[in-house]
Homo-oligomer: A and B are copies of this chain.
């Protein structure tokens, strides 16, 4: 029996980096977490990353057993060139990541935007299995997105799909991107925390949003207002995606999606009002299934998943 191919998936976040040894069935054989730390001190960062990857290989340090390392980066990347335009949480700005890593990591490297890579993970092993045209949004500190078209990740001219920076309220709040009323400024964890702070009248941090969602579930009036305002904008964004992409599946992931039905159900009701009937009838809106593993599985999938399994 031929052994399954293996790759390492790395999901870089602002605080932690998740790593997993993944096989071509999409199974996780080993995993680890490390602190992101001072990623901007790149030489020492690359060395720590090398050591951590070596640790999860089976047997340890058996680099020859893997076909590559796939990496999800929280920022704007050119996946084809392996270039990071901008990853503010890492303080990376114009880094040839693939080329730099090649001096430290003794195997092939592929990189992708973190939300793109998570979408690939869900498409391969999670909520999107068997679907050809998928849009996923990840609701976290920011709003990320990934699009699969004809079963393949679509990244346009390399920069990919930044649905979080789709303006849905042209007179809305200023966005970090320089625009105004972007989807991200209305439904990210940061946006919801700002909304909660205003409505509830006391400082609510992103980490305290769980409590707000729990209060809304119990019927608290202010918490319900926070959730309903958020659901309205989330629903409009979902409707836009349905009208623009006419996908078969729209997947909602990221920390905020853990709020569950208290947020997602009213958002879907709004989306039904705002979307074209024929497109609405052809889509299913679902929550992501892989949770925190979507990123590492998808990053491994950059090497292991079906048709994209050519080495480079």
Contact = CB atoms under 8 A, between A and B. Distances in A.
B158 A240 contact: no
A70 to B, nearest CB: 21
Contacts of A220: none
Contact of A239 (B179, B246, B277): B179
A301 B179 CA distance: 38
A92 B1 CA distance: 59
B245 A161 contact: yes
A50 interface: no
Given A85-B278, A236-B167, A244 B247 contact: no
A88 B283 CA distance: 24
Nearest to A166: B240
Contacts of A248: 156-157
Given A168-B167, A171-B171, A162 B239 contact: no
Contacts of A154: 149
Contacts of A172: 170
A278 B86 contact: yes
Interface string A143-166: 000000110001111111111011
Nearest to A272: B178
A157 B276 contact: no
Interface string A267-303: 0000001111111001100000000000000000000
Contact of A165 (B157, B177, B243): B243
A246 B158 CA distance: 8
Nearest to A274: B179
A157 B76 contact: no
A246 B160 contact: yes
A57 to B, nearest CB: 34
Contact of A162 (B86, B168, B180, B244): B244
A116 to B, nearest CB: 11
A124 interface: no
A122 interface: no
Contacts of A78: 278
A213 interface: no
27 contacts: A76-B278, A85-B277, A86-B278, A133-B156, A133-B157, A149-B149, A149-B150, A156-B245, A156-B279, A157-B283, A158-B246, A159-B246, A159-B276, A159-B282, A160-B246, A161-B244, A161-B246, A162-B279, A165-B275, A165-B276, A166-B240, A166-B243, A167-B239, A169-B171, A178-B273, A178-B274, A179-B275
Given A163-B243, A163-B244, A178-B274, 12 more contacts: A133-B156, A159-B246, A159-B276, A159-B279, A159-B282, A161-B243, A161-B244, A161-B245, A162-B244, A167-B168, A169-B169, A169-B171
